[in-house]
Amino acid sequence: MSFLEIFQSLDFKEEILHIQQKTFRDVLKALSNALYKRMNFEDYLALVSPSADMYLEELAQLSSQITLERFGKTILLYMPLYLSNECRSSCLYCGFSFENKIPRKTLTEAELIKEAEIIHSKGIEHVLLLTGEDYSKTPLKKIVESVKILKEYFSSVSIEIYPMNEEDYKQIIEAGADGLTLYQETYDTEAYRKYHIRGVKKNMNYRLEGPDRGGKAGFRKIGVGALLGLSHPLGEMSFLGRHVQYLMKTYWRSQILVSLPRFRPAEGNFEVNYKVSIREFLRYIFALRIYFRDIGVVLSTRENPNLRDNLIGLGITQMSAESKTEPGGYQGMETLEQFETEDKRTLAEVIKVIQKKGFEPVLKDFDKCIV
């Protein structure tokens, strides 16, 4: 059964109600099963549920234990690099949305090289290439050429761009990319239709099957996630969990990464319907780590420095640092960022905090010759 078939067999609102009905007894059973490594998906839903809130300390301790067992005392660091903010899709929550009258910019080859040189000079070996959804400005050829340039500077290049078909993904992998990040934004069909009003991104199912096409193409890393705030977070966590479970089983040769970005202010007047508190956010991260022991959990600079620092060792395995969310941001170009970052510290400052907590900041985690 494909994930699209799994997705279409479930009801978002029913999933919310199902999770809300979980009791503290379900949570205790889930924690017990976790200790003996015999959890099932219902146990995961119990840890996601509001009933698990009173056991947040227990969840944190278990999440920390599992993280240390699986990943040791390491945090992988990466930087995003925006190739373009030009976009033909209208997504009401995004600063790059077509409707927003902002300065648009796609980096030239020389400008991309300059961005790469600046990031590389900081010691970073992992970079994430991002664009808006304008196929005419950043077609496949432009993406392939950009990846080839970045491979001259970085050990690992991942992409976070518009969904592509399998053959296009294969060309990007041949150019040197090893990771694909493709957030569904929301798994709520009604909310997806409401917030995506123009462009190719309106096709929810095509986006939903994007990680599948990336897995078939052969990406070494596949990242998924939901933008918390667009719809009810319990529904998002249920469907995201099912998506992760499916990807881990189907594309077992790939490392599956998960991120839970919470909505941040951007250009426009969009207001979120569901504000996710810090306690909820922590519960979701701990639930993911406890049930999916081998996934990478990514934390961006959307979150504030204090929260990011305190999550080191408690479930996350990767962090962005010194992020610029606009094209040319590292060389000081005056373009508009996709969203506001909360943690504005330099890479050196983030590294210092990681080391102070007794962890090792990892700037390069593999070589092609050993995989």
Helix orientation angle between 233-250 and 278-291, rounded to the nearest 10 degrees = 20
Is residue 18 assigned to a domain? yes
Alpha-carbon torsion angle 148, 150, 154, 159, nearest 10: -90
For 261, the domain range is 3-365
Q: Exposure of 294 by Cβ count < 10 A (0-12 exposed, 13-18 middle, 19+ buried)?
A: exposed
Let me know if residue 191 belongs to a domain. yes
Contact yes or no for 242/41 (Cβ under 8 A):
yes
Is 370 domain-assigned? no
116: phi then psi, degrees, rounded to nearest 5? -60, -40
Number of domains in the chain: 1
- Determine, yes or no, domain membership for 104: yes
Residue 41 falls within a domain, yes or no? yes
167 falls within a domain: yes
Give me the CATH number covering residue 278. Answer: 3.20.20.70
Name 106's bridge partners: 84
- Angle (CA) 190-193-198 rounded to 5° is 175
Beta-bridge partners for 130: 82, 160
Residue 371 inside a domain? The answer is no
Count of Cβ atoms closer than 10 Å to residue 37 Cβ: 8
Per-residue model confidence as pLDDT tens for the chain (371 residues): 899 999 999 999 999 999 999 999 999 999 999 999 999 999 999 999 999 999 999 999 999 999 999 999 999 999 999 999 988 888 888 877 777 777 889 999 999 999 999 999 999 999 999 998 888 899 999 999 999 999 999 999 999 999 999 999 999 999 999 999 999 999 999 999 999 998 889 999 999 999 999 999 999 999 999 999 999 999 999 999 999 999 999 999 999 999 999 986 555 556 777 999 999 999 999 999 999 999 999 999 989 999 999 999 999 999 999 998 889 999 987 655 555 678 999 999 999 999 999 999 998 765 443 34
Q: Is residue 198 included in any domain, yes or no?
A: yes
The pTM is what? 0.94
